[in-house]
Amino acid sequence: MNLIPKDVGAVIVTYKRPEALKKTIFAILSQDIPESQIVIVNNDPSIQLIPEHIDISFTRLVIKNQLENIASAGGFAKGMKAIVDMGLKWAWLFNDDSRPVEGSFFSIKTALENTNYEKIGLIKIGNLNQTGKAILLNWNGVRVPSYVDPSEELIKTDLVTFDGCLISCLLIEDIGTCDPGYFMGTYEFDYCLKAAKKGYKIFTLPNGQIEDEKMGSVGGTPPWRQYYNTRNHLWMGISRRDFRILRSWLLRELKFTYAILMWEDQKILRLRYKFLAMYHAAIGRRGKVLMPKNN
């Protein structure tokens, strides 16, 4: 399978990180992706971003300014649709604080040329953990990580996250974009399960050729994010009527609730948000409910 830059559009979802965004744009350009095929979804409604705000040399970036923060699920959905509308073949997804390193695109291209698989839906550049192992994700009602030595061979997995993920536009046209109703968290796994159900293959390329600053993961999981983790996982089980997901959700929530009672700060707030999340999943309340300012 041949992969060339002119067939690929990049999506960057950004929120109030101009310097990180600039680094990511230059990193994507260094992979020979044309500037006119870079879509930036700006989730900061306080500024109507234009190319000159980022760098005076940018003139052809495609910027989608949002009237409200639609978070990662909504941002990637907007970006995926934009790439399909451009008539391209692949969408390469990034947050503003993650970016490809030198050789990333070439490594994906080479891996694709060396595989005989058809109907490939998603290919993720695998992140490395602190011990230098590549992270793979499989599914048993909840994500199950495993770890392998870095390599340049595609490994079939059940799940991938979207950061550094290449998604076939044929897949997007077939099943649509990711579901913006998740707002943040779980939407990637929901999308992978939908893709697999349609017969698309999902791969991880475990070479670690992605730089991830993880700027949104500093300081642990805040209460508002726990709300979405709880609600969205439960919603997946309820909407699919999948007992395996519901069982895994229950076991996971018991474990995390115990951790809240024993070690976490803001215990009352965290527990209140968890009960709210369960109620909202049960009644089908989706989309944006809590934001960081609600803490």
> pLDDT tens across 223-257, in order?
999 999 999 999 999 999 999 999 999 999 999 99
Q: Mean pLDDT throughout 37-60?
A: 93
- Distance, first Cα to last Cα, the chain: 48
**Residue ranges per domain, the chain?**
5-213, 223-294
Question: Please, which residues have CB within 8 angstroms of residue 97's CB and are 6 or more apart in sequence?
Answer: 17, 20, 24, 212, 213, 214, 215, 216
> pLDDT tens across 185-228, in order?
999 999 999 999 999 999 999 999 999 988 766 667 899 999 99
Does residue 268 carry a pLDDT above 50?
yes
For residue 291, the model assigns a pLDDT of: 84
Q: Determine what percent of the chain is predicted with pLDDT higher than 70.
A: 97
Looking at the DSSP bridge assignments, the partners of residue 224 are none
> pLDDT tens across 66-117, in order?
999 999 999 999 999 999 999 999 999 999 999 999 999 999 999 999 998 8
How much is the mean pLDDT over the chain? 95
Does residue 295 carry a pLDDT above 80?
no
> pLDDT tens across 2-36, in order?
899 999 999 999 999 999 999 999 999 999 999 99
Whose CA is closest to 271, among 288, 284, 254? 254
Distances (CA, A) of 88 to 25, 95, 165: 19, 20, 16
3-class DSSP state for residue 91? strand
pTM above 0.85, yes or no: yes
For residue 118, the model assigns a pLDDT of: 86
For residue 294, the model assigns a pLDDT of: 46
Question: Please, which residues have CB within 8 angstroms of residue 157's CB and are 6 or more apart in sequence?
Answer: 124, 136, 137, 138, 202, 203, 204
- Per CATH, which fold does 5-213 belong to? Spore Coat Polysaccharide Biosynthesis Protein SpsA; Chain A (3.90.550)
